Amino acid sequence: MAEWYGCKPGKPNVGLEMSAAEIAKGIKEREAHFFPGRRVTSGPADSSIFDVQDGHCIGDNFRTAGVVWEEANKGPGSRKNGWALMRERFGKAKQHPMEEPGLLVFDTCRDFIRTVPMLPRDETKPDDIDTKAEDHIADETRYRILAIRHTATTTTIHM
């Protein structure tokens, strides 16, 4: 819907060289434009933004600028599990009616479409992808899928 990928035009896998405050400002502007009057909840970000270097943390810089992130699940088995869930969600999206969670990608997500289908598998770990490839959007998607918590609820009807 509102993909914003930090890549220099014509230079894949090279960031925009923006500060956390500048990125946060761009995020807030896009939230206000695409979701006016709605509260946008925090989502997962790579855990490296929470690393403290010389007393500073990128995650804190985002929070100060009004954007809060959750730490992505990067625990044991999370990569393999995340890729499996991502493939499963793509398959579920093709079912009609869609009864289970699926993953739909719109044509406005140009960098997702440009990068994710082309990701090569890791030659030594076939259930993973080659991390030297431009895998940023795929990782973001995997983090989000792993962060979704499904809970069953029951309702008691009293007659």
Instruction: Report d(CA 48, CA 129) in Å as an integer.
Output: 19
Residue 16's pLDDT band (cuts 50, 70, 90): confident
**How does 92-109 read in b/e, with b if 16+ C-beta sit within 10 Å?**
eeeeeeeeeeebeeeeeb
pLDDT band, very low/low/confident/very high, at 12 (cuts 50, 70, 90): confident
Residues 6 or more apart in contact with residue 38 via CB below 8 angstroms: none
Q: Hunting for tokens 């998607």 — which residue is that? A: 141
Q: Please give the model's pTM, rounded to 2 decimal places.
A: 0.85
Average pLDDT for residues 10-39, to the nearest whole number? 91
pLDDT for the residue numbered 148: 84
* Mean residue pLDDT across the chain: 89
- Would you say residue 153 has pLDDT above 60? no
Higher pLDDT, 10 or 138: 138
Tokens of 33: 């434009």
pLDDT in tens, 66-91: 999 999 999 999 999 999 999 999 99
How far is the CA of 77 from the CAs of 6, 43, 81, 123, in angstroms? 27, 20, 6, 18
Mean pLDDT, rounded, for 127-148:
94
Q: What number of other Cβ atoms are within 10 A of residue 116's Cβ?
A: 19
